[in-house]
Amino acid sequence: MVVRKKKVIRKIPKTGLNAVPFKNGFQSTLHYFQYDIEKKQVGDIVKTYIKNNYNKDDARHILSHPDWKFSTYSHYGCVAYWLNTNQELTCKKLSQTVLDEYLISFKNYLSELIEPGKIILKEKKLKEKEKGNIVVLSPQQRLQKKIGDTIIQDLLELEDEWIKGKETSLNVYEQFKLYGLSGSATLPVQTMVEGWLLDYEDAYFKKCEQAVESYSHLKKSELNRRINECHSMLNDLAKIKLATRAMRKVKINKPKSADKQIKNVNYKKEDNNYKLVSINPIQIVGSVMLYTFNTKYKVLTQYVTRAGNGFEISGSTIKNFSKEDSRSITLRKPDEILPIIMSKSQTQIDKEWNNLTTKTTTPNGRINKETILLRVK
């Protein structure tokens, strides 16, 4: 008689939401959500909490926001799942106060979406045409959708790569150009990056027990790298705002000959290395102060005129500037000085200029294909 071996059925290891380590406490659950739960699931969990815990109107207003508002933050997904599954609101590894902070932060975040959600739904209702069921998005809604589908997705992918241990970076300035986004699209990106920066700095400088615990698996050098990456992205956003402002159409009350004066002017419209965009040269005619930057030789120039009719342009030469008041200087660190030139007051600019160690010279009035037109008064 042949004795058959009893078939051994192997247990399939649990994954995803089936393996959430509730028994190990809230902190372990936070880590699990950060590394093992997909962002779509995070969004679905948060939406379920909203539907079950808010009245019909408030839930409708909150859920009118784009999906990335609910899927971006894994810790909010963790809090929502903790509440959805009726877990105890105490924790062995975290004090009751810290756990309460997570709960309060989560509920405050959702509450702050109610009023903007009302505006979104109101605009949606106004834009519904009598053309059947076709919904026409408002310009603001189209912009928000484009942001969510492009640069926000890039940031989420960057965060995923960081979680996997990759030392990647994102050139926000170039991505904005690639997607055709302008300064009006910077706020959601800035909000997300500033949130990361706050968490990383709290962990690096040990300002917050919660942040220190959450990022205890990272080396200090990696925290510092991420902090620098966040600063770099925020600097790119600031340059995007300045570039948008420089390219904005200006109502110009100039002599009729102004367009003829700039007809043959030779200048550099944009520099990708320094992430600079020139102003329209027609703004120079009649103005009393001009800043330029030669990207090849890293020379910053300030032109000043005492003429009552301001500057004039002949070919590619600035006319009527005062040699006594105008000045040029070579910059060793352009990335540190140019943002000050672009955005600060003349008093602040003079202070920084006086701190420079290179020699100040007198300009000759010529601009060329390497010259960015920075700013006028």
- φ and ψ of 21, to 5 deg: -85, 65
Q: Which two tokens stand for residue 356?
A: 């420079």
Kindly state the percentage of the chain with pLDDT values over 90: 51
Q: Where are the domains of the chain?
A: 16-136, 160-248, 258-376
> How far, in Å, CA of 164 to CA of 167, rounded?
9
245 C-beta neighbours (distance < 10 Å), count: 16
CB-based contact 158:192 (threshold 8 Å): no
pLDDT digits (tens, 9 = 90+) for 254-293: 555 788 888 889 999 999 999 999 999 999 988 999 999 9
- pLDDT band for position 123 (50/70/90)? confident
- pLDDT, tens digit, 9 for 90 and up, residues 13-45: 556 788 888 888 777 888 888 888 888 899 999
pLDDT value of position 255: 53
For the chain, the straight-line distance linking the first and the last C-alpha, in angstroms and rounded, comes to 103
Low-confidence winner among 71-75, 257-261, 312-316, 364-368 (lowest mean pLDDT): 257-261
**Which residues lie across from 43 on neighbouring strands?**
none
Q: CA-CA distances (angstroms) from residue 332 to 268, 300, 323, 329, 355?
A: 21, 11, 24, 10, 12
For 99, the token pair is 């756990």
- Whole-number pLDDT of residue 127: 75
Higher local confidence (pLDDT), 243 or 99:
243
In the chain, how many H helices and how many E strands?
16, 9
- pLDDT computed for residue 133 by the predictor: 56
CA atoms within 13 A on the CB side of 129: 7
**Mean pLDDT of the 71-92 span:** 82
When pLDDT is cut at 50, 70 and 90, the band that residue 1 belongs to is low
pLDDT (0 to 100) of residue 22:
82
Contact 154, 196 (CB under 8 A): no
Mean pLDDT, all residues of the chain = 86
Q: What is the pLDDT of residue 12?
A: 46
Q: What is the mean pLDDT of residues 141-170?
A: 91
Is residue 255 within 8 A of residue 225, CB to CB? The reply is: no
Query: What pLDDT shows up at residue 96?
Result: 59
Contacts of 318 (CB under 8 A, 6+ apart): 284, 290, 303, 311, 312, 365, 366, 367
**CA–CA distance from 219 to each of 61, 161, 212, 228 (Å)?**
41, 16, 11, 15
The pLDDT score that the predictor gives to residue 97 is 62
Inter-axis angle of helices 74-84 and 96-111, to 10 degrees? 100
Residue 329 reports pLDDT greater than 80: yes
What crossing angle do the helices spanning 186-204 and 139-149 adopt, rounded to 10°? 40
What are the backbone dihedrals phi and psi of residue 302, each rounded to the nearest 5 degrees, phi first?
Answer: -115, 115
Kindly tell me if the per-residue pLDDT of 54 is higher than 50. yes
pLDDT number for residue 4: 59
Closest CA to 336 of 260, 268, 242, 235: 235
Question: What is the pLDDT confidence band of residue 98, given thresholds at 50, 70 and 90?
Answer: low
Name the H helices within the chain: 26-36, 39-53, 56-62, 68-71, 74-84, 96-111, 114-126, 139-149, 151-163, 172-179, 186-204, 209-214, 220-247, 258-261, 334-343, 346-355
Per-residue model confidence (pLDDT) at position 196: 93
Average pLDDT over residues 123-136: 68
